[in-house]
Structure 1
């Protein structure tokens, strides 16, 4: 509730910002007049003074094996969510893999610290409720830039609420849910540090982030095999997978 109140307050404050020229209006981004100032706030304030310094410090003091264990642990916590969404999407194979990964890594892998399942050929399959809604035919909705949260769409924001707060609450307490969310956020930001040059070299960083975000959604929705378009050459696969 607090997050959405903060978002609403930002929208009110920024509603009077300069208008975007009509020839630059993107149908996917009807709120661009609001999203651009929010992007600047995220990058120039939150990322510059909080997120990036935390991520850089995290990388410097955390050995790679420990970082891998943290990723393994958070992925394992999310495995039941992956399983449920795979089932809702009509992917029994992916649902079975997620269930098997959870059972193997929670036991042999010591609560998911070690990814034993991947060595057995049970590779992680990321499924979320935003993808589930997409499979069900729900459109993206408006593109949104949220304070601290970054890019999303109306559909994926709904999916994130279900994935990050509704489903985990079945098994985790609120503090545990928040801890897992923070660990994922810090690791996600840290994983983007090697790719910052792509963003800095782009002519319009806002458009770059938006375009690559939509590319990522197509990549995920079709499990890495989009039926029509391939990722633009400027967007390497490592960067897409790290978002």
Structure 2
């Protein structure tokens, strides 16, 4: 059996080529907005906006109108259950044995008692979701955030989170253990979950992407501050009111 330390070393070797070109902010700009690729990012952002306007938004609205809320919720829950073994691996890599154990028990409970994971039975037993990702794992290891990046289709990210997304695809044991095409069921469920979110919060998405004066700057602000707050809260950092400026305050006021 591979020890947690050896597993961490193996995964870090996989991530190193992706992190080698990470950009470092200028001295004094730590914690600010580091966006040396802004011209290229803006072009990708405009592509994503066009894709959202012509494909994603109408598809999401049609999907949420056609599919009952209960079925949508079950699909979202199945996607979360499918992802839970990956959460457990990341918690293990972060040195969080408690979180790894909780995710393992949560997965087993929902997979067996939740009819393959479509119901969140574990929550009723006091086992809340312990979601995480390899971007957070890299942050725990001390890897800097790097520059802000916008990816086609996937949208806003950072160099660290982009590397985390790529490596994270190889960390879920179900993606290895299950045969094709069953291994793709989680990916499909997460994609449908994305449509659910886009459809249910359509007005909020539209206000940022299609109605703000500078949708690129607004999206960048919301992503960076939300992600930093999320990682700080999970790691037990400073209280939210000391580290987080509400990104929606500028949009909606008091």
TM-score tier after normalising by the smaller chain length: 0.7 to 0.9
**Is residue 78 of structure 2 the alignment partner of residue 69 of structure 1?**
no
Show the counterpart of 2:246.
232
Q: 1:211–1:94: structure 2 CA closer, same or farther, 3 Å change rule?
A: same
Q: Is the 8 A contact 1:72 1:113 kept in 2?
A: yes
- How much has 1:164 moved relative to structure 2? 2.4
Q: Kindly report which structure 2 residues correspond to 1:80-159, keeping only aligned pairs within 5 A, or say none.
A: 80-159=85-164
Q: Which runs of 5+ in 2 are unaligned?
A: 1-31
Show the counterpart of 1:48.
53
Match of 2:205 among 196, 203, 211: 196
Runs of 4+ in 1 over 6 A off after TM superposition: none
CA distance in 1 between counterparts of 2:52 and 2:39 reads: 21
Show the counterpart of 2:175.
169
CA distance in 1 between counterparts of 2:71 and 2:44 reads: 34
CA distance in 2 between counterparts of 1:182 and 1:90 reads: 30
Q: Which runs of 5+ in 1 are unaligned?
A: 1-25, 237-243
Match of 2:186 among 170, 175, 180: 180
Task: Normalising by structure 1, report the TM-score.
Answer: 0.78
Task: Normalising by structure 2, report the TM-score.
Answer: 0.75
Show the counterpart of 2:223.
213
- Secondary structure of the residue that 1:222 maps to in structure 2? helix
Q: Kindly report which structure 2 residues correspond to 1:16-31, keeping only aligned pairs within 5 A, or say none.
A: 28-31=34-37
Q: Which has the higher contact order (CA 8 A, sep 6+)?
A: 2
